[in-house]
Amino acid sequence: MKFSTLKRHFKEGARNTWRNGWMTIASIGAVTTTLILVGVFLVLMLNLNHIANELEDDVQIKALIEVTAEESDVDQLEENINNINGIESIDFSTKEEELENLIDSMGEQGQAWGLYEQDNPLNDVFIVKAEDPLETERIAAEIEEFDFIYRVNYGQEYVDTLFKFNEYARNVGLVLIAALVFTAIFLISNTIKITILARKKEIGIMKLVGATNNFIRWPFFVEGMFLGVLGSVIPIAVILIGYYFLTQNMAILQQFNFVTILDFYPFALQISLIIVGIGASIGVWGSLMSVRKFLKV
C-alpha cells in the first residue's frame, strides 16, 4: 500500500469517527467503562502477583539446631543440607543474631525483648532457601531427618495456601478480564453496526467502482483504533491518579507492614500502555467485526 493511500485511510477514519457523533460517544463510553474495570482488575492482579512473588522469595526454611550440638556437628549438618537437591542458599545465623532480628522486626514493642539478651531462649539456625519455592515442603522434610535438628519451621499451611490463592487469583482475574473485553467488543460492534447500516449503501457504491474489501475495511480499522484510544483516556487518568494516591498512602502503611505494592514508576507507564493496547484492540476488533457482514457481497 502506498503512503498516500494510508494517509487517505487515516483521514477517512478520523472523519467517520467525527461524523458519527453520538454513536462515537456511545462506543467510547463502552470502551471507557470496560477499561476502568479491566484497569482496576489489572492493578489488583499485578500487585497481588507482586506481593505473592515477594512472599514466595521470602519463603525460607529455618532449621533450628539443638543447643547440645558441638561445632563439628554443625559443620557436618551444613554439609548434609548442602547435599540436598534444589538448595539455593544456606546461611548460618547465631541465636544472638536471631534475637536482634526479632527485636528489629517488632519496632517499638521489640524493645521489651531486649530483656532476654542475657538469657537468650532462641536457637542457632540454618536459613535454607529452595531454588523453587514449591519444593520447600520436600526439602524441609529432608532436613528434619538429620541429627541435631531441633525443629524445622517454614509455615507449611501458610505457604501452601499462599501458592494456591495466587494461582486462583490469577485465573479468576484473567477470566474476568476476558469476559469484560468480550462484552465491550460486542457493545462496540453493535454500536458501529448501527452506523454501518446507514453506510451499507455507501459500501455498495465503493464496490461498484472497484474498491477491494481491504480498501473499504481500512477506515473502519482506523475508526476502531480511534474509539479504543479515545476510550482509554479517562481510565488511564483515573487509574494513574488513584494509584498515585495509593502509593502515597502505602508509604505510611509500609512502616508497619512488610508487604509492598509496585512503585508508581514504571508501573504507571506499563499499565497505561496495557490499557491503551487493550482499548485499541477492542475498538479495532469490534469495528472490523461489524463491517464483516457487509463485505460478503
Partner 1 sequence: MIKMQEVYMTYPNGVVALNGVDVTIEQGEFVYIVGHSGAGKSTFTKMLFREEVPTKGSVVVNNTDITTLKWKEVPYFRRNIGVVYQDFRLLPKLTVYENIAFALEVIEESPKNIRKRVMSVLDQVGLKNKARFIPDELSGGEQQRVAIARAMVNHPSLLIADEPTGNLDPETSWEIMRILEEINASGTTILMATHSKEIVNTVKKRVIAMEDGMIVRDEHRGEYGYEV
Residues lying near partner 1 in the complex (CB under 8 A) are found at 1-2, 4-5, 8, 19, 202, 204-213, 215
Shortest distance, CB of residue 15 to partner 1, whole angstroms?
8
Shortest reach from residue 211's CB to partner 1, in Å: 5
Q: For residues 19 and 151, which CB has a smaller minimum distance to partner 1 in the complex?
A: 19
Considering beta carbons, is residue 18 or 265 the nearer one to partner 1?
18
Q: Which is nearer to partner 1, 164 or 201 (CB)?
A: 201
Residue in the structure block whose three cell numbers are 499499565: 271
Give min distance, CB of 20 to partner 1, in A.
11
Based on CB atoms, which residue is closest to partner 1, 121 or 210?
210
Whether 233 and 25 have beta carbons less than 8 Å apart is answered as: no
Q: How far is the CB of 231 from partner 1 (least distance, A)?
A: 24
CB 134 within 8 A of CB 159: no
Minimum Å gap between C-beta 5 and partner 1 is 5
Instruction: Kindly tell me which of 33 and 213 has the beta carbon lying closer to partner 1.
Output: 213
To partner 1, the closest distance from the beta carbon of 12 in angstroms equals 9
Nearer to partner 1, 21 or 107 (CB): 21
Give dist(CA 11, CA 71) in Å, integer.
80
Are the C-beta atoms of residues 272 and 236 closer than 8 Å to each other? Answer: yes
Residue closer to partner 1, measured from CB, 211 or 251: 211
Q: To the nearest whole angstrom, how small is the minimum distance from the Cβ of residue 28 to partner 1?
A: 21
Cell reading at 38: 479491566
Cβ proximity of 32 and 246 under 8 Å: no
Sheet holding 149-153, edge to edge: 87-93, 125-130, 61-65, 149-153
Would you state the cell numbers that stand for residue 249, as one nine-digit string?
Answer: 498512602
Amino acid at 279: G
